[in-house]
Structure 1
Amino acid sequence: MKVFFELGNSQLKAAVLVRGEYDYLGRVPNKTVEKATFVSEFDLQNAEVEAVFLSSVASADMNSLFIQQVQAAFGCYPTMLTTQHESAGIECGYHQFEQLGVDRWMAIIGATDGSARPVLIVDAGTALTVDVVEDRVHQGGFIVPGLSLMRQTLFDRTAQVKLASLKQASESQEEDALLARDTENGVLGGTLYMVAAYINQLVNDMESETGRKFDCIGTGGDFPTIQSMLDRHFDYIEDLTLLGMVKVIEAG
């Protein structure tokens, strides 16, 4: 069994390859690493593990803690995957490829899956990132604050708005009301419209500029919240980064 972990800013995801068969195990909060419970959370106790692969954007301290726990649980040191100039037939478009986040790079690999079709990838996590690939070449992308981060910032920096209100606001909003009638729902609705409008305009601009129709793929914890507001169909793939990691390993 080969085990793949994606360690993000807030969540840990895992997948396994057993005799070439892929199985996504799901996601758990990062606190399971701090509590040393992620092995049981993913039901990996007593698993016969031949190799572990890690893609991480977490802090150095969190990485060190996680690596120690992997060694203790599986008796092996995880292979840390990083961004490369070229992987699995896809070329990185950054002038300095190592500056592209490994989570974005693995998502790009997972989304393209070796195809030459033009692809636009939206990862709606702590940051919202957009990447574009044409003819197996990464063209570049954008990074903006993510939906939850924008909301959290407004709530943290607005004296009249409390964090507890954020969790209750969506329940109080009238279903048939377009505009919010309280501050909390004003934040929820306003930030959602901002993010959706940004993505919709970007897709239109890319297709107008290139004259091509893009396959659109979404991932990240906030993407399901955004998806219904988008003009174009997006395939949502929760484990996109893990799929990319597997492709990189299989490509050698």
Structure 2
Amino acid sequence: MLLCDIGNTSFHFYDDTQGRDYREDAAAFDPAGVTLPVYYINVNASLQSRLEMLENWTDLRPCINWHDYYATMGIDRVAACEAVEEGVIVDAGSAITVDVVRGGRFQGGFIYPGVSALAETYHRISPRLDSSFNFDMQLDKMPKNTRDAISYGALGLLAKEVSGYGLPVYLTGGDASLLMPLFSTPNYEPLLLFSGMKKIIQKAGLC
């Protein structure tokens, strides 16, 4: 089974038979060159019409029970939620999305600026606030230096909100490894979306 998570910059593939993942540049890659059956999710609207013309590419969006979510929710967030029975999913990319799942049902979520966006925000306020984040800060103490004050305001409060739900925390996305020190027992799941995609395929009876 070949799975593909399509974003604005890349095609992220997962080859289920070999247990490996790899990426192709969205600007240069030609999906017509893939001959194997592909199940995909896509947030890149400019590519959708091309993909719909390829008989071996199957869009998983129509397989979603959208009554459980909301119409404008990103399909990547939905796929991550489908992978989890109980927990808080933190997908740390260009934006940080936080979604809560209880008893296998989506409860709601919110969207936070990504790590790079947060750092740029502080830099724009003042050059004195242009500092790297301290991901190892102590969240049980109020900061007493500029770097920790920035880190706490940008990410410490987010970590406390996520931990406050009292559920397992699942970290995924490109910056997920950076956030791991902020949580006591996080589950690092870089391929979480693909686990969700496989569950969607099974529910839809496509395999």
TM > 0.5 between the two? yes
Distance 1:234 1:62, change over 3 A: same
Aligned counterparts of 2:31 and 2:152: Cα–Cα separation in 1:
35
Distance 1:140 1:148, change over 3 A: same
Q: CA deviation at 1:180?
A: 5.3
1:125-166 residue CA offsets vs partner (Å, 9 max, x unmatched): 2222222222222222222222222223333x346379xx77
Q: CA deviation at 1:119?
A: 2.1
Structure 2 equivalent of residue 126 of structure 1:
94
**Is 1:109 the counterpart of 2:109 in the alignment?**
no
Q: CA deviation at 1:246?
A: 1.7
| 1:59-208 pair list within 5 angstroms | 60-64=45-49, 67=51, 76-82=55-61, 84-85=64-65, 93-94=68-69, 97-112=70-85, 118-155=86-123, 157-158=124-125, 160=127, 169=132, 190-201=153-164, 203=165, 207=166
Give structure 1 stretches of 5+ with no counterpart. Answer: 40-44, 87-91, 113-117, 208-213
Give structure 2 stretches of 5+ with no counterpart. Answer: 138-142
**Is 1:240 the counterpart of 2:192 in the alignment?**
yes
Equivalent residue letter for 1:12? F
Bigger Rg, which one:
1
Task: Tell whether the 8 Å contact from 2:82 to 2:104 is kept in structure 1 after alignment.
Answer: no
Quick one: which of 6, 9, 26 aligns to 1:33?
Answer: 26
Quick one: which of 160, 180, 186 aligns to 1:227?
Answer: 180
Q: Could you state the TM-score of these two structures normalised by the residue count of structure 1? A: 0.62
Q: Find the residue that maps to 1:130 and give its secondary structure.
A: strand
Q: CA deviation at 1:37?
A: 7.7
Task: Tell whether the 8 Å contact from 1:127 to 1:145 is kept in structure 2 after alignment.
Answer: yes
Between stretches 142-151 and 236-245, larger displacement belongs to 142-151
Aligned counterparts of 1:143 and 1:12: Cα–Cα separation in 2:
23
More helix per residue? 1
Let me know the Cα RMSD of the aligned residues: 3.6
Aligned counterparts of 1:222 and 1:241: Cα–Cα separation in 2:
15
Q: CA deviation at 1:64?
A: 4.8
Task: Tell whether the 8 Å contact from 2:9 to 2:27 is kept in structure 1 after alignment.
Answer: no
**Is 1:3 the counterpart of 2:12 in the alignment?**
no
Distance 1:76 1:85, change over 3 A: closer
Aligned counterparts of 1:127 and 1:246: Cα–Cα separation in 2:
24
**How many pairs does the alignment contain?**
198
Equivalent residue letter for 2:46? D
Structure 2 equivalent of residue 89 of structure 1:
none
Distance 1:141 1:15, change over 3 A: same
Equivalent residue letter for 1:78? W
Distance 1:76 1:154, change over 3 A: farther
Q: CA deviation at 1:5?
A: 0.9
Structure 1 equivalent of residue 140 of structure 2:
none
Structure 2 equivalent of residue 215 of structure 1:
168
Q: Could you state the TM-score of these two structures normalised by the residue count of structure 2? A: 0.74
Distance 1:149 1:77, change over 3 A: farther
Structure 1 equivalent of residue 41 of structure 2:
55
Equivalent residue letter for 1:8? G
Task: Tell whether the 8 Å contact from 1:54 to 1:81 is kept in structure 2 after alignment.
Answer: yes
**Is 1:250 the counterpart of 2:195 in the alignment?**
no
Q: CA deviation at 1:186?
A: 6.8
